[in-house]
Chains A and B, each alone.
Chain A
Amino acid sequence: MMSRRDPSPLMRTTTGFLFVGFICLAFADIAVTTGDPWKEFSLLLEGLVTPDFYKTDSLALSLAYTMAFALLGVALANVIGFGLALIFHSRIVRVGCAFVRAIHELFWALIFLQLFGLSPLTGVLAITIPYAGIIAKVYAEILEEADRRPLAAVPVGTGRASTFLFVRLPDAWAHFRTYSMYRLECGLRSSAVLGFIGLPTLGFHLETAFKEGLYSEVSALLILFYLVIATMRVWMKKPLLPFYLIGAVAILPWSIAFSWAHITRFFTEDIIPHPIRAGGENMMTALGDWVSMLLYEQIWPGTIATVQLTMIALVVTGFLTLVFFPLISPLMLGRAARTGGHVFLVVVRSTPEYILAFVLLNLWGPSMLPAIVALSLHNAAIIGHLVGRFTETIQLRLDAVKGMNRYFYEVVPRIYRPMLALLFYRWEIIMRETAILGILGIATLGFYVDSAFADLRFDRALFLILITALLNICVDAISRTVRAKLRLQTSLEER
């Protein structure tokens, strides 16, 4: 008698996501539109292997600014995030944090750009605000997971503050430090990307150099950036932190002024939907038209493209992860080959997806392809690194098979669950990035946000950003449901 196949929930979920991914891909525009992409690519490669470090002053300064924004932004976010983590049980705080972190740094930067112009405040706040929301959530989870047993031994009559200081804080502190380092790495990437909207960080020089075809300079900028990130554990020492922060405040060009009248107008006039500002008898009708116009012409197509690109990128990321993790896994490769694998993954994951997408877009022309490749490469390098590290804990029996048989029978079945957990965890992050890639000209929601800012229609821009935030919050909720259903867990170090 034939037994009927009964796929596990894990397999059914995988099949479902693959199906959705392929449907999205079928409708996606992935054409290469540039005349001779390989010629430009070979020029780029030639530049990458011949870095030009001689424009030292602009290189050093842009790197210093990149670090200054990251340090100040992350430090401030740490202080605020820690404070918020203490009151994270309050619903308002939780919802507020979910909201601010659903909006990408670049969108925050576009908003602050209207308020403070190119003042350093724009860059610092653009990092601080979303990061504070993320840090508050993670720190609250760390405190939640701290060992509670010592609470029993605290003498009766001890105040809440003392109990917190001695019992809950010490165990959490080590996790806070590890997480802050990870956040600083993210902060450096965010800070670099802020250059693309005009702040004087790495991205600004990268964009200029790229547009002028100075690929050797691009290469020098990127190499220095990788060095800064790769050596972070060497230069980021606790006793040096105050000096770094003072230095960061000192070098940023604070002299750029902004006007309060301008800021007031932004909040009281500019961001109020145009029909409400105009007022009059037909205000409600006009407002309805305004909303439905945005809905049909921008929100709907923008959302479709964002979701489509996210789903394709998610599935491709999964495939690439399966290719990337063996590069650093002791189960699959020898020590020498793994070193090469580590360097490759560090470089790919240290390159912000925005920069990757920017480069590929210039090579291949505007379509979804550059975005898909950039998002998948970057995220697969991150997840591949974590999965590869996870395989270090797996003990295979001595007579285990080798080669491809080992990969398919011994390794992949063991890493599949943790890999899916990480993929679903990054789903929301991929979506946030997808939206932002619109600024580069791919028709996701970010494209419409950027156009609205360019046309000085701040009411539309803010409304579209709100929609983007809601979309991210929805995906986050779906991802949490899926992870809970499949009982997929990520450890604190992986968030």
Chain B
Amino acid sequence: MALLELREESAGYNGETILHELNLTIVPGERIALVGESGAGKSTLLHLLYNRLGARAALMPQDSALVQALTVFHNVYMGRLHERSVWRNLRNLVLPSRADVDEVRDVLAPLRLQDKIFSNVGQLSGGQYQRTALARALYHPGRVIVADEPVSSVDEHQAREILTTMNGEKETVLLAMHDRALAIEFADRIVGIRDGRIVLDEASNGMRPGDLDDLYRTTDP
């Protein structure tokens, strides 16, 4: 049973078509990386998938998009805003309840952020910031994670930690990545996009970064 199926799908915004006649089937448990040049349509496809999945998916947007004025706890708690009543949300905004703090702390512990739980996100380092964004997506109850360049602003060591945690905690992983080596290492299926079309859709097994060069080669003679 497929999690999601796109058939001859086109998408874009402001009347401009960016994705052309896509066919894509995703089954639960897959770890898919979208690769391609910037501007090829990776983000557009990722958002199309996220919109179809609805509350089944947690989103990690490109710039992490944490709320600067709030603490790590509040930003992570946001992963379940939709499951709680407005009153509980308001209460936690003003005075976090012990039960919810414990829940969030459990998510933060493996990411080495439990000490930072009541820090303002503005005070975090780049890696901690990115891990907080991941914690928010992990706290979201959805079994799918949709992540747009989740490791673009951290070093390789932190990138591996984030991708490993993501793979371990969520059933289905949909990524947009510009780092080809990491994409091949952490995804089991590579979807290559060029000029808004899927031009490659293969298992990552045995693939090497050089095999993806065609996606980045210019068409000009």
Contacts and interface: CB of A to CB of B under 8 A. Distances in A.
Interface residues of B, number: 32
A161 B88 CA distance: 12
A257 interface: no
Nearest to B84: A162
Contact of B89 (A157, A165, A171): A165
A151 B78 CA distance: 11
Interface string B77-109: 111111110100110010000000000000000
B61 A153 contact: yes
Given A166-B74, A170-B70, A156 B82 contact: yes
Interface string B52-69: 001101111101011111
A141 interface: no
A166 B89 contact: yes
Contacts of B133: 153
Nearest to A151: B65
Nearest to B133: A153
B58 A171 contact: no
A290 interface: no
Contacts of A249: none
Given A165-B93, A166-B70, A166-B74, A158 B65 contact: no
A159 interface: yes
Contacts of B31: none
Contact of A153 (B65, B77, B90): B65
Nearest to A175: B69
Interface in A116-173: 147, 149-159, 161-163, 165-167, 170-171, 173
A182 to B, nearest CB: 19
A26 interface: no
A170 B57 CA distance: 25
Contact of A170 (B55, B67, B90): B67
Given A166-B78, A166-B89, A173 B54 contact: no
Nearest to A172: B69
B92 to A, nearest CB: 9
B136 A171 contact: no
Given A153-B59, A153-B136, A163 B81 contact: yes
> Which of A147, A153, A159, A165: most chain B Cβ within 10 A?
A153
Interface of B: 54-55, 57-61, 63, 65-70, 74, 77-84, 86, 89-90, 93, 133, 136-137, 140, 142
13 contacts: A150-B67, A152-B59, A155-B80, A155-B83, A156-B54, A156-B55, A156-B82, A158-B82, A162-B82, A166-B78, A170-B68, A170-B74, A173-B69
